[in-house]
Chains A and B, each alone.
Chain A
Amino acid sequence: MNPVLILAKNNLRMLFRSRTTAIAIITIPLLLLFFAGLLFDTTSVYRVRVGAWSPAYTDVSNAVLSTLQESQFKVEQYEREEDCVDAVRLGDQHACLVFPAGFALGGENNKLTFYLDPSRATLVNVVLGTIEPRIESYTQDVSKNLTRAIMDALSTVRNSVSVRKGTVVTLTTTVNNAGFGISQVLGTLGAPEAALDINQLGIQDVLGRGAGLSEVAERLANDSLIIADALKSQLQALDGYVNSSGMTSSEKSVAKAGIANATSAADDLRTAANLSKNDVAANNLTGTVQVLLDRLDAAKQTLGALVDARNASLVNLQGVKGKLDSSLVSIAEIQKGLDEMHQAITGLAVVDPEAVVTPIRTVITPVSAESSYLNYAFPFLMMLVLLFSGLLLPCILMLSERNSPARTRALLVPLSDVSRMAGVLVSCVAVLAVQALLMLVVAAFFFPIWLGLPVLVPALLAISMLFVLIGMLIGSLVTQEFNAILAGVLVGAALLLASGFIVPLDVLPRWLSVIAGVNPVVIGGEVVRIALLFNGVGFGWNVLDILVLLVWAVALACAVVWVSRNDRRLTLERAIQSVMALRKK
């Protein structure tokens, strides 16, 4: 069997032989987890007792108290402010809330006073940390409601503008169309062909020509009498011809009927011509024409007036059109304004009232699926256990070995110092692995860890080795177990302080921040955090981190072996001296 494994096996055997040690190794991580679980148990919050006093409770103050009660705080109202404050002093209440008279949102009466006992600093923080968020939540709700009302009003305006905008558009169109119609009318009325020149009507010429019209009518009636007589004689001749013709009786009858019709028409023409001749003579056509002329003259006068009116209308219409055009421009401006309002309202990016209340809102959203807050603390707990086990275990082991009666015999065995140190390293890492495994098993009940294991396991091994090497160095440098534990705790505390778990690295001085950057606790914590909380997603070994860890490992290993070699000589000589001193006594 490999000497390193023999040494490691022996170390483990001795370590676990002591039941106390074995129990401590196994239970400390579990106890730590248990206590951490208790710390992160939020049920304790509900045991916070709050006293309240106000000279005159308002709806707002009552609402605040209701909020606290709904959050399962035990709220007790006092008759006097002094009683409420004394209750805090006596520890009956964790906090006393004093509402001013007329407590209201905004204005001067919105000051809510907390009475707390500063001598119990931790409790103060807890109470503040638990009550404040709820009051703040209530305040936010109120602000949210107010803002919601504003937003509703804005929404109404937006809808109204949207509706009215259509009306304006319609109006614009109508006016536009009206203008267009007037333009057309103006165009029509103003067109040259529409201009009315009464002289061009020739009414005077018509009046002149009316006198000759009677002569034409008489001559036409005389000509018609002549034609009718001639036609009648011709028809008589035709009748005689028909009688003498060899036509059949039926044919004759047809022909005679035709001749008779034509004779009748000629008689009608003669009658009409006689009548016309008589009418012209009897009815005085000239008078009629004169009447007509008079009427035409009257019409001419009327038309002249009409032309004047048209001209005047043209001027008026031109003015109206100008005003319509001007109105159209104004309506367009209004429409443009409404458009802009609509766009502005529609384009509002923030429509959520809560966003208006807190424009830049900090929302804490879990970045991993979890059922407990324990997982947030888990990387810290894991590093805490590994760090202190890694620091103290090798110290104790090495000093136990050094102060063991077996020390001389162990040194006599022809093994290299590297093998001896490797034995300690392997055994301690094995113990740390057991502790880590226990913690992981417990953690698995609370949140999924399996996806992160491929990253977590090698990372934990590497970090554990580093911690153990640091512990071995401490164990090599000091000679007493008490000093070793003290040194281990101090080194551990220093590493923890510069780890970001207690004080954020960002608030550290720059030089300390740089040092903290190479702190294996920082590197390890980051790896564990990524592996556990993000299932290893986004994990990538930074080259610098690898380099830092390598430098740590090599430097520590060399230091441990070097110190161990020197220490071995020193220890023996000290041992010999002590034996000599003992004998002298």
Chain B
Amino acid sequence: MLAASPPLQKFVSQSLAKGMPKADLQETLLKAGWPKELVSAYLQKGLAEHPSPHGKALLRIQSVSKALNGRKVLDAVSLDINEGEIFGIIGASGSGKTTLLNMIVGLLAPDAGDVQLLAGTMRSVAKDPGLRAVMGYSTQAPSFYPELTVEENIRHFSLLYGKTERQADLQTASLAKLVGLHDNRTLLAKELSGGMQKRLDLACALVNDPKVLILDEPVADLDVLLRKQLWETLGAIRRKGTTIVIASHFLTELEQVCDRIGILRNGRIAEVGTPDELRVIYSRNHEIKVELASHGYDELAAFLAKQQDVPIAKTWKEAGALRLQTAQPTAAAEMILQFCRQRKDMITALEMGRPTVRELFEELLR
């Protein structure tokens, strides 16, 4: 089951419940700036269920609540994660991402609700610790023995999951190769770089050939190149049919690899959808990036702010450019051109598009 966007869902459900015709509702939503394709989809599906790109739910989180130190960290979280998909979870610090992941793998028991895994039938992870055998978990801080070598770590956990010596040897070699540590397999784990440690941790999380791979901040502290390598590796793992759940701050990259993303806010799932869905759901604005030869961005911003008929939601300078968000991107672009003509300035770059998930996320948290 895929939870719908709560505000839109609520509005659509209430309108339909009140007997509002779908055509009127569609017109209202379009006037409010909701994308046409999304409005059509919601109205067609009746908003009862979110379609899953792969269909079959592998992991079901049902009304899970958890309090730690008297503070409610998770509050009735419900979520379906489908077989074979990469599911991203984003949320601010303390929003309950790690707690949710710990409950998914069974390290924490929920105070209320249940986490179920499809193993023939849906079985409670909390009540059936054996289900952990089909889950891999890469924690935020790498979890392995620093005093052991790369291959000793992989081999040790492989043996603990019931592999024979021979199988463990083979798997150690293949995993070391998969995560790019084959040449460093005899190094002690503590001697590895941060990126290598992340990859070793990932290898250790894969020793049991998990059906579900849970990754908590897998690319934190990694440089761009290492992040790219890791995402590629995850892609390779996913191609083997492994379902992957990722909690990460790197929203820009997350939206590139995730099939769906769930936004966790104040212990609740605020929204679930594909990155595109989220973009259109959370932002009626478009984003314009403009670069001027004169770099007179303050003047441009002031100019735009004076334009009463073209509402500008937000302007900010970033990386030698001025960025702005507006619901009327075409009119805003015309205003920018007008400014340049008046000042005899030259536009060196002009980009127009939807805001990224990160921006949406920041918007959401605001």
> Residues of A with Cβ closer than 8 Å to B?
1, 3, 6-7, 10, 13-14, 17-18, 404-409, 411-415, 569, 572-573, 576-577, 579-580, 583-584
Neighbouring B residues of A583 by C-beta, 8 Å = 93-94
Using A405-B142, A579-B140 as known contacts, say yes or no to A415 and B68 having CB atoms under 8 A apart.
no
Neighbouring A residues of B69 by C-beta, 8 Å = 577
A-B contact pairs, 22 of them (CB 8 A): A3-B160, A10-B145, A13-B148, A13-B152, A14-B148, A17-B147, A17-B148, A18-B147, A405-B143, A406-B144, A406-B153, A409-B143, A409-B204, A413-B161, A569-B108, A572-B108, A576-B99, A576-B102, A577-B68, A580-B68, A580-B98, A584-B94
Complex contact A576–B160 (CB within 8 A) = no
Instruction: Give A408 Cβ to nearest chain B Cβ, in Å.
Output: 5
Identity of the chain B residue whose Cβ is nearest the Cβ of A419 in the assembled complex: B160
Using A6-B156, A409-B204 as known contacts, say yes or no to A414 and B94 having CB atoms under 8 A apart.
no
CB < 8 Å: which of B129, B141, B147 contacts A414? Answer: B129
With the chains together, A405 CA to B165 CA distance in Å? 24
With the chains together, A7 CA to B141 CA distance in Å? 22
Complex contact B107–A408 (CB within 8 A) = yes
Binds A, one of B130-138, B261-269, B310-318, B355-363: B130-138
| Further contacts, 9 of them, CB under 8 A, given A405-B144, A408-B143 | A10-B156, A14-B145, A14-B147, A406-B145, A409-B139, A576-B68, A576-B98, A576-B99, A576-B108
Complex contact A407–B152 (CB within 8 A) = no
Using A408-B143, A409-B157, A412-B137 as known contacts, say yes or no to A580 and B107 having CB atoms under 8 A apart.
no
Neighbouring A residues of B108 by C-beta, 8 Å = 569, 572-573, 576
With the chains together, A164 CA to B165 CA distance in Å? 100
Within 8 A of A (CB), among B192-220: 204-205
Complex contact B107–A411 (CB within 8 A) = yes
With the chains together, A413 CA to B131 CA distance in Å? 10
Q: Does B90 contact A (CB under 8 A)?
A: no
Within 8 A of A (CB), among B141-194: 141-148, 152-153, 156-157, 159-161, 165
Q: Does B115 contact A (CB under 8 A)?
A: no
CB < 8 Å: which of B99, B107, B140, B141 contacts A412? Answer: B107
Complex contact B132–A414 (CB within 8 A) = yes
With the chains together, A409 CA to B144 CA distance in Å? 7
Instruction: Give A19 Cβ to nearest chain B Cβ, in Å.
Output: 11
Complex contact A413–B157 (CB within 8 A) = yes
By DSSP majority rule, is chain A's interface helix, strand, loop, or mixed? helix
Complex contact A6–B141 (CB within 8 A) = no
Identity of the chain B residue whose Cβ is nearest the Cβ of A573 in the assembled complex: B68
Complex contact A412–B105 (CB within 8 A) = yes
With the chains together, A6 CA to B162 CA distance in Å? 10
Instruction: Give A86 Cβ to nearest chain B Cβ, in Å.
Output: 60
Interface centre among B102, B147, B161 (most CB of A within 10 A): B147
Complex contact B94–A409 (CB within 8 A) = no
With the chains together, A225 CA to B101 CA distance in Å? 189
CB < 8 Å: which of A13, A413, A572 contacts B160? Answer: A413
Instruction: Give B68 Cβ to nearest chain A Cβ, in Å.
Output: 6
Neighbouring B residues of A579 by C-beta, 8 Å = 98, 140-141
Instruction: Give A16 Cβ to nearest chain B Cβ, in Å.
Output: 10
Complex contact B102–A580 (CB within 8 A) = no
Identity of the chain A residue whose Cβ is nearest the Cβ of B165 in the assembled complex: A1
Neighbouring A residues of B133 by C-beta, 8 Å = 414
Complex contact A414–B143 (CB within 8 A) = no
With the chains together, A1 CA to B160 CA distance in Å? 8
Complex contact A408–B94 (CB within 8 A) = no
Complex contact A408–B139 (CB within 8 A) = yes
With the chains together, A406 CA to B205 CA distance in Å? 11
Using A13-B148, A583-B94 as known contacts, say yes or no to A407 and B143 having CB atoms under 8 A apart.
yes
With the chains together, A414 CA to B99 CA distance in Å? 20
With the chains together, A572 CA to B93 CA distance in Å? 18
Please, what's the 1-or-0 string for B88-103, where 1 marks a CB less than 8 Å from any CB in chain A? 0000011000110010
With the chains together, A408 CA to B156 CA distance in Å? 14
Within 8 A of A (CB), among B40-79: 68-69
With the chains together, A576 CA to B109 CA distance in Å? 13
Identity of the chain B residue whose Cβ is nearest the Cβ of A1 in the assembled complex: B159
Interface centre among B93, B94, B107, B141 (most CB of A within 10 A): B107
With the chains together, A414 CA to B129 CA distance in Å? 6
With the chains together, A14 CA to B145 CA distance in Å? 8
With the chains together, A1 CA to B162 CA distance in Å? 8
Identity of the chain A residue whose Cβ is nearest the Cβ of B106 in the assembled complex: A412
Neighbouring A residues of B132 by C-beta, 8 Å = 412-414
Neighbouring A residues of B107 by C-beta, 8 Å = 408, 411-412, 572
Neighbouring A residues of B147 by C-beta, 8 Å = 14, 17-18
Instruction: Give A15 Cβ to nearest chain B Cβ, in Å.
Output: 9
With the chains together, A548 CA to B147 CA distance in Å? 39
With the chains together, A380 CA to B133 CA distance in Å? 47
With the chains together, A6 CA to B146 CA distance in Å? 17
Complex contact A6–B159 (CB within 8 A) = yes
With the chains together, A123 CA to B174 CA distance in Å? 68
With the chains together, A260 CA to B291 CA distance in Å? 222
With the chains together, A408 CA to B148 CA distance in Å? 16
Neighbouring A residues of B141 by C-beta, 8 Å = 405, 579
Complex contact B160–A6 (CB within 8 A) = yes
Neighbouring A residues of B148 by C-beta, 8 Å = 10, 13-14, 17
With the chains together, A207 CA to B137 CA distance in Å? 170
Instruction: Give B24 Cβ to nearest chain A Cβ, in Å.
Output: 46
**Shortest 10 CB-CB contacts between residues of A and residues of B:** A583-B93, A409-B143, A408-B143, A413-B160, A406-B145, A414-B133, A17-B147, A6-B159, A414-B132, A14-B147
